[in-house]
Chains A and B, each alone.
Chain A
Amino acid sequence: MANWTLASLVRGIRTARWPRRDDLPPGAIPARWHGLVATPAEGERSIRDAVWFAATPTSRGPLPRRFRHSVHVRFVDAGASGALISEVRLLDAPPYNMHRFGIFVTATPRDADVLLVGGPVTEAMREPLRKAYEAMPGPKRVVAIGDDAIDGGVFGKSFASAGGVAEVIPVDFVVPGCPPPPAAIIQGLLAAAGRITPQAFKERV
Chain B
Amino acid sequence: MSTRAALRTFFGTGHPGLAVRDVGMRLSVDSAPAALPDIAAALMHEHGCGFATLVVEEDATGFVARYFFYARDDATLIEMVTHAPPGTELPAISDRVHAADWHEREVEDLFGIRFSGHPFLGDFVLHDQVWPEGITPMRREFDASVRVAQPGLGEDWRPRRLLEEEGSIAFPVGPIWADYNEAGLWLLETPGEQIYASQTRLFYKYRGVEKIAEGRSPAGGLLLAERFSGCAAFAHAWAYCEALERIAGCKLPPRARALRTVFAELERIRYHAATIAELAGATSLAVGKSMSQEIEERMLCLSAQVCGHRFLFGLCVPGGLAWDPATATLATLRAGVTDAAKEFAKLERLFVHTSSYLDRIEEMGTLKPDVATLYGVVGPVARASGRSVDLRRSLPYGAYADHPPEVPCEIEGDAYARLRVYFAEIRASTSLIQALLGELPDGPVAAECAAAPGTALAWVEAPAGGTFHWLRIDDDGLIRRWRIAPPGFRNWHAFHRALEGAAFQDFHIIMASFGLSVAESDR
Which residues of A are at the interface with B, using a C-beta cutoff of 8 A? 25-32, 35-40, 74-90, 93-95, 105, 107-109, 119-120, 122-128, 132, 148, 153-161, 178-179, 181
Pair A82/B206 contact, Cβ less than 8 Å: no
Q: Which residues of A contact B131 (CB under 8 A)?
A: 123
Q: A94-B294, A158-B145, A159-B147 are in contact. Are A27 and B303 (CB under 8 A)?
A: yes
Contact of A30 with B293 at beta-carbon distance under 8 Å, contacts A86-B230, A124-B175, A154-B223 already known: no
Bound-state Cα–Cα, A105 to B143, Å: 40
Contacts of A84 in B (CB 8 A): 230
Q: Does B313 contact A (CB under 8 A)?
A: yes
> Given A27-B300, A125-B204 in contact, is the A32-B311 Cβ separation under 8 Å?
no
A81 touches B227 (CB 8 A): yes
Cα A153 to Cα B313 with chains together (Å) = 14
> Which of B129, B142, B227, B519 meets A154, CB within 8 Å?
B227
B356 CB-CB contact with A under 8 Å? no
A82 touches B519 (CB 8 A): yes
Output the least CB separation between B422 and chain A (Å). Answer: 16
Q: Is B151 an interface residue (CB 8 A)?
A: yes
Which listed residue (B143, B205, B302, B303) contacts A122, Cβ 8 A?
B205
Where the two chains meet, the residues of B that have a C-beta atom closer than 8 Å to any C-beta of A are 127, 129-131, 137, 142-149, 151-152, 175-176, 178-183, 203-209, 211-212, 220, 223-224, 226-233, 274, 277-278, 290, 293-294, 296-297, 300-305, 307-311, 313-315, 317, 322-323, 517-520, 522
* Chain B residue with the shortest CB-CB distance to A39: B323
Of chain B, the residue at the smallest CB distance from A86 is: B231
| Interchain residue pairs with CB less than 8 A apart (30) | A30-B310, A31-B304, A35-B313, A37-B322, A39-B308, A74-B176, A76-B176, A77-B183, A80-B230, A81-B229, A82-B229, A82-B231, A83-B227, A83-B229, A85-B231, A86-B296, A89-B278, A93-B293, A94-B294, A124-B129, A125-B205, A153-B227, A154-B227, A155-B224, A158-B211, A158-B212, A159-B145, A160-B137, A179-B310, A179-B311
Which residues on the B side are within 8 Å of A40 (C-beta)?
A: 307-308
Contact A90 B297 (CB under 8 A): yes
- Return the chain A residue nearest B152 by Cβ: A127
Residues of A within 8 Å of B310, CB to CB, are: 27, 30, 83, 87, 179, 181
- A156 and B231 contacting across the interface, CB-CB below 8 Å: no
Is there an interface contact between A159 and B148, defined as CB atoms closer than 8 Å?
yes
Task: Decide if B176 touches A93 in the complex (CB within 8 Å).
Answer: no
Can you name the residue of chain B whose Cβ is closest to the Cβ of A97? Answer: B290
